[in-house]
Amino acid sequence: MRIPLSKPFINEDVRRRVAEVLDSGYLTEGPVTQEFEQTCAGFIGCRHALAVCNCTVGLEMALRVLEVGPGDEVVVPDYTYPATASVVNIVGATVVLVDVDRATTLIDMDALEAAITPQTKVVMPVSLLGAPLDYDRLNALKETYGFFIVEDAACAMGTEFGGKKAGNLADISAFSFYPRKFITTGEGGLVTTPNDAWAEWMDSYKHFGMGRQTTREDTVFDIVGTNYKMSNILAAVGQAQMLMIDELLFRRREQAAHYVERLAGHPRIIIPAIPEQGLHSYQAFCILIEERDRVMREMRAAGVEVQIGSYALHRHSAFRPHAGCRHSGSLEDSDYVFEHALTLPLYHELTEEQQDQVIEMLCRLT
Ligand SMILES: Cc1ncc(COP(=O)(O)O)c(C=O)c1O
């Protein structure tokens, strides 16, 4: 493609830090991972940040520490990546799919409220593509109904609501460092929480159930755990990027502002709304258009890589109604967003001239 959709940010500092880890011979999780966790916690402003091998296992671990299991319901927006819902079934609970709001593409708060039952233990909102969730509404519902909020913050490093960063808004949040995210370790994730006891349990769970280690001989295994560690090698990649995150975010927001400035007045292009107190991190820049598939095909044929947004889960066999999956209310806005969302190229080195080429092609074809 002449203009790709995204491109990981890999500079000399990333290469140098990875080489240092390789030279050290300490390749598994260790001091570089801890340094990365501290940098992430400092940026987010959260009390605990645990690096894990991807966001999916981070979400699963979050449900496990909240003791979510058979008989419990977890509300998930229908328009998301399948991992958000899969983890609910993986821990044996029932996933309840609700509609999104087509204006924001995020969970519809009225649909969420209508889906709540005495079995609702957790709500998993998704800050999809880096878009901020309305935590005023979420917290008001949480107060009324008493559920936990586990944010699927896979795309939301740098996203904010009311001056607080994602990762510091929910009971537990899980981030992804998959390569389409602008902070990427190839594969990787991060779980954050303000709760000391949950952090301690998750830290043990991701280390085979180990208790606080003194020496190897003294090691105790307190719980049945698993291995969700992140290696020093991957953490070195993330650490180099996190040290530049303000600059990376500033550039993305500048590029997004250019798309908004040139596309906002277009009569056939809709830019999803964000709440007044929200700040987008633009993991991806998404628009809604008619004839999305034709436009996508023609832009790709002309050398511009564009992509759909996410998935309407209820259309897939795994998430049709079954013992572990319930659909609540209409899912028509999820269908609408699935059929109309288009993501445009966005990466650090993308120039304004390239953006203008994308914009002109899009406007010609729309
Ligand atoms: C919204 C959402 N949730 C979960 C995931 C899964 O993240 P990971 O690949 O790190 O497991 C992704 C990945 O792209 C995602 O976009």
Q: For the segment 175-199, what is each residue's pLDDT rounded down to a tens digit?
A: 999 999 999 999 999 999 999 999 9
Beta bridge partners of 76: 97
Q: List, in sequence order, every residue forming a beta bridge with 289; answer none if it has no partner.
A: 269
The CATH number assigned to the domain holding 40 equals: 3.40.640.10
Give 76's DSSP letter: E
What average pLDDT does range 311-316 have in this prediction? 98
User: For a substitution probing ligand 1, which of 6, 54, 56, 124 has the most ligand atoms within 8 Å of its CB?
Assistant: 56
Which DSSP string corresponds to 262-310? HHTT-TTEEPPP--TTEE---SSEEEEETTHHHHHHHHHHTTB--B---
Mean pLDDT of 242-255: 98
Which among 50, 53, 55, 185 is the best mutation to test ligand 1's pocket, defined by most ligand atoms within 8 Å of the CB?
55
pLDDT confidence of residue 125: 98
- Per-residue model confidence (pLDDT) at position 60: 98
Pocket test for ligand 1, best of 5, 90, 105, 155 (most atoms within 8 A of CB): 155
Prediction pTM value: 0.98
Please give the residue range of the domain that contains residue 169: 1-366
Residue whose entry in the numeric block shows the structure tokens 């990466």: 347
In 162-259, beta strands by DSSP E: 164-165, 172-176, 189-193
The C-alpha atoms of residue 104 and residue 79 are separated, in whole angstroms, by: 11
5-43 confidence digits (pLDDT tens): 999 999 999 999 999 999 999 999 999 999 999 999 999
Whether the pLDDT of residue 216 is over 90: the answer is: no
Contact 78, 98 (CB under 8 A): yes
Percentage helix, strand, coil for the chain under 3-state DSSP, each rounded to 5: 40, 20, 40
pLDDT at 223: 95
**What digits encode the pLDDT tens for the residues 314-363?**
999 999 999 999 999 999 999 999 999 999 999 999 999 999 999 999 99
- Do 351 and 4 contact (CB within 8 A), yes or no? no
Residues with CB under 6 A from ligand 1: 54-56, 80-81, 83-84, 126, 128, 152, 154-155, 176, 178, 189
Q: Residue 247 carries which side chain, given as an amino acid letter?
A: E
Number of domains in the chain: 1
pLDDT value of position 218: 86
The mean pLDDT of the chain is 97
**Residue 53 Cα, ligand 1 centroid: separation in angstroms?**
12
Predicted local confidence at residue 16, as pLDDT: 98
Q: Please tell me the number of Cα atoms within 13 Å of 70 on its side-chain side.
A: 1
CB atoms < 10 A from the CB of 31, how many? 12
| Position 1 pLDDT exceeds 70 | no
SS3 116: coil
Instruction: Report the first-to-last Cα separation within the chain, whole angstroms.
Output: 21
Q: What percent of the chain has pLDDT over 90?
A: 97
